[in-house]
Amino acid sequence: MASTFGAVQLAHEFLAAQVKPGDICIDCTAGRGNDTVFLCSLVGDKGKVFSFDIQQEAVESTLKLVKERGFSQTAEVICRGHEEVDLYAEEGTVAAAVFNLGWLPGGDHSVHTQAGTTIKSIEKCLRLLKYGGVISLSIYYGRDTGFEEKEAVLEYISKLPTAEYTVIVSEFVNRPNCPPIAVRIYKC
Ligand SMILES: C[S@@+](CC[C@H](N)C(=O)[O-])C[C@H]1O[C@@H](n2cnc3c(N)ncnc32)[C@H](O)[C@@H]1O
């Protein structure tokens, strides 16, 4: 296995196994658009991907990548907080929601996801998921940011009711310096 294998690959393998053509998906943290275009490739022409970011720079990056890859009809990129995700999709209709927590790669490190809004959005995404739907969370933390969010998110997901959700947390236990944590949530 390549030494660069990381949280993004884990998340994409998981999503590829779950998302089908025609599905509705949500990218809760658009950033540079990599997860958005990956989801677009899975849902195909008949599917839909709603992609959120609070930073105009991220929205523009994502729109550029979406256009380059020919997914303009599939992706709707929205400059809005993911805590308002329920304004865009109906309950019980979403196949997958993706969170890639932290800051915009190559962007302003002072703007990053926050525990309160992240948990509010996860809570809403759980309601939007159809049965059999999934959430992928890649939790990045380190230096002086993300620790509080990591703790709060892990505590929140560990208390989700067993009868309704299966929650799996994967860690790169032999890597130094706060490696990312990959979370999979299945709605039963
Ligand atoms: C680690 S980056 C995402 C990387 C992205 N998935 C990619 O493929 O490049 C996290 C992003 O979350 C965004 N963000 C922070 N708070 C947010 C919020 N409340 N709603 C939506 N996006 C938010 C940041 O602006 C940043 O672009």
CA distance 130 to 188: 9
DSSP tag of 144 = T
Torsion over CA: 118, 171, 32, 12 (sign): negative
Q: Which atom belonging to ligand 1 lies closest to the Cα atom of 82?
A: 20
pLDDT digits (tens, 9 = 90+) for 127-181: 999 999 999 999 999 888 899 999 999 999 999 999 999 999 999 999 999 999 9
Query: Which residue's CA lies nearest to atom 23 of ligand 1?
Result: 53
For a substitution probing ligand 1, which of 49, 53, 63, 136 has the most ligand atoms within 8 Å of its CB?
Answer: 53
Query: Which residue's CA lies nearest to atom 21 of ligand 1?
Result: 53
CA of 52 to the centre of ligand 1 (A): 8
CA distance 155 to 149: 10
pTM for the full predicted model:
0.97
The pocket around ligand 1, CB under 6 angstroms, is made up of 29, 31-35, 52-55, 58, 81-83, 100, 102-105, 111-113, 117
CA nearest to 164, candidates 136, 186, 184, 183: 186
pLDDT digits (tens, 9 = 90+) for 90-106: 999 999 999 999 999 99
CA of 163 to the centre of ligand 1 (A): 30
- Whether 163 and 186 have beta carbons less than 8 Å apart is answered as no
